[in-house]
Amino acid sequence: MATPKVFWSIQFTNGFKKSFAGLTELEQWRVRGFLRNIVHIKDPTKVYHHTACENCPPDFHLFGLSDDGLGNSGIEIQVWLHKKTQTAWFLKCRKATKPN
């Protein structure tokens, strides 16, 4: 079986590491799965539900994981997809806030 191509290298900020430590074991497992998969996807914004950051530089995205089926994501991950260096900078993650 061929080894999947790696499109992105991954870097973590201290903010991501700290916020990741605050998640439950199940949530951490889901985030780790996202990290394992995203490196093999040329354009993650075409595969994963995301929101572009309005007040941020280009290529900052908020990805939603663990959707409950009603469009409410259980975990949000802020990522800067630096296309010039093909590096995905993971900035922060948190439990998503549900709309009222």
What is the domain-level CATH number for residue 54?
3.30.2310.20
Query: Residue 18: which domain range?
Result: 9-95
1 located within any domain: no
C-alpha 19/C-alpha 40 separation (Å) is 24
Contacts of 88 (CB under 8 A, 6+ apart): 8, 9, 10, 11, 38, 39, 44, 79, 80, 81, 82
4 located within any domain: no
3 located within any domain: no
Quick one: pLDDT at residue 98? 63
Neighbours of 74 (CB within 10 A): 16
Quick one: pLDDT at residue 90? 96
100 located within any domain: no
Quick one: pLDDT at residue 68? 60
The count of domains in the chain is 1
Quick one: pLDDT at residue 54? 75
Q: Are 75 and 65 in contact (CB under 8 A)?
A: yes
Report residues of the chain scoring pLDDT below 70. 67-73, 97-100
76 located within any domain: yes
Quick one: pLDDT at residue 12? 97
pTM over 0.85: no
Quick one: pLDDT at residue 18? 97
Quick one: pLDDT at residue 25? 92
